[in-house]
Amino acid sequence: MSAKRDEGANLLEQLDQIAKGLGETFAPFCEVVVHDLQDPARAIYAIHNNLSGRRIGDPATELGLARIADPQYPQVLANYANRFPDGRQAKSTSIGIKDSKGIYVAALCMNLDLSLFQSLQSAVGQFTAIAREGVTESLDTSNADIIRQRIDEFAARQASTPRALKAEDRRALLRELKDSGHLEVRKSMEVIAQHLGVSRAAVYSYVKQP
């Protein structure tokens, strides 16, 4: 039993080094997590570039529990759709790690924040757009996705991402949203705060500042 624990501990230590390297390479838009499947109640062993708000010692996910229950579960699941708790879209890859007896003891997971690339996509779309005479626009401001889209477009114009905007840029963004009537939408402050990665109090302060 002691030898098995030593083997598992060594695997986790080595995985953490790999995770750290991947995290530094793909910062700031990729979260890298090491899961200890030997302790599902406290499965998160390490987390680099924390984008999901989870903590070391948090329990295993459904995928981790599935691996624990079935040694035949696929070892590599690549590029599957996922979502962060605040609604940001993610693309995830999970790699299961087995011990010498073929039992899953750990997992290395990468969660890619797609908002940066969506902003780049928006910037490219803006750059290649062709104006057409006689075209009118109507925005449905009752849809929270419209607010997120406006924030993404603003961030793209600044060559940034929503969460990387500077304070003065956030103030300018809130002025635009206010002038366009988007702040009148129900729960708009909550939507804006989540998309910018700040508190609602911070959003209110940006609105009040000139």
The tens digit of pLDDT for each residue in 26-54 reads 988 899 999 999 999 999 999 999 999 99
Residues 97/109, Cβ–Cβ less than 8 Å: no
Contact yes or no for 22/111 (Cβ under 8 A): no
Structural domain spans, the chain: 2-113, 116-208
Q: Which CATH number fits domain 2-113: 3.40.50.880, 3.40.50.150, 3.20.20.410, 3.30.450.20?
A: 3.30.450.20
Max mean pLDDT among 73-82, 121-130, 153-162 falls in 73-82
Supply the pTM of this predicted model: 0.59
Query: Is residue 72 over pLDDT 60?
Result: yes
Provide the terminal-to-terminal Cα distance of the chain, rounded to the nearest Å: 65
Residue 174 pLDDT level (bands cut at 50, 70, 90): very high
Outline where DSSP puts E strands in the chain.
30-36, 44-48, 76-83, 89-98, 104-113
Determine the pLDDT at residue 7: 67
